[in-house]
Amino acid sequence: MNTLSIEMQDNVIMQAAQEDPEQFAPIYDRYFDRIYSYCRRRVNNPQIAEDLCSQVFERVLKSRHTFRTSGDFRAWLFRIAHNVVYDYLQQERQFVDIDTIQVPDENRPIELKESTDILNALIATLDNEERDILLLSIDGGLTSDEIGDIVGKKAGAVRVQLHRIIKRLRQQYQEYIDYE
């Protein structure tokens, strides 16, 4: 049983990876799915998300010497992911369109699939900053402090914005359900 927290484990692994890039594999294994999910939700295209995910991990490996092992690795990693996605969106000027929302798992029960379709469509209506904050919280599992560092806001402002986003999405979801 490993008594080190995930954060401490990440820092130890990154310290080793600074000397030997092959030591980076556990980080890749631990965070690949979360980074891919974040990229996928931001660009809504599996192939582009895979490319962006690869770019994220390439940047992490190239800049591994800049990581302070006393820092918050997860926030550092998602800041890189945020920047990669932002750069892509700026370059392509391609933003998620409600009509292109795709549900990753078509084998779910019909009620769950319909709910997911509705929620995905509602999330797609958020502006880019709101969507990014929400997805950094959901896909990244980041705290308000970590998200604030990434998007340049204070933790309190992030908490308030997340609360308002979720409240608005709940209300819109309920209105949609009641309307049908």
- Tens-place pLDDT, residues 131-147: 989 989 888 888 899 99
* 147 Cα distance to chain centroid: 10
pLDDT score recorded for residue 11:
85
Mean pLDDT of residues grouped by 10 in the chain (180 residues)? 74 86 90 93 89 94 83 88 89 49 42 66 87 88 90 92 90 79
**Is residue 168 within 8 Å of residue 130, measured between CB atoms?**
no
Which alpha helices (DSSP H) does 25-154 contain, by range? 25-43, 46-62, 73-92, 110-124, 128-138, 144-151
Q: Which CATH architecture has domain 6-179?
A: Orthogonal Bundle (1.10)
Find, among 33, 66, 74, 31, the residue nearest to 50 by Cα: 33
Give φ, ψ of 90 to 5 degrees.
Answer: -65, -45
In the chain, domain spans: 6-179
Rounded to two decimals, the pTM is 0.69
For residue 10 the two structure tokens come to 């990440």
Find, among 134, 141, 143, the residue nearest to 161 by Cα: 134
57-90: pLDDT as tens digits: 999 989 888 888 677 888 899 999 999 998 888 7
pLDDT score recorded for residue 78:
92
pLDDT score recorded for residue 68:
82
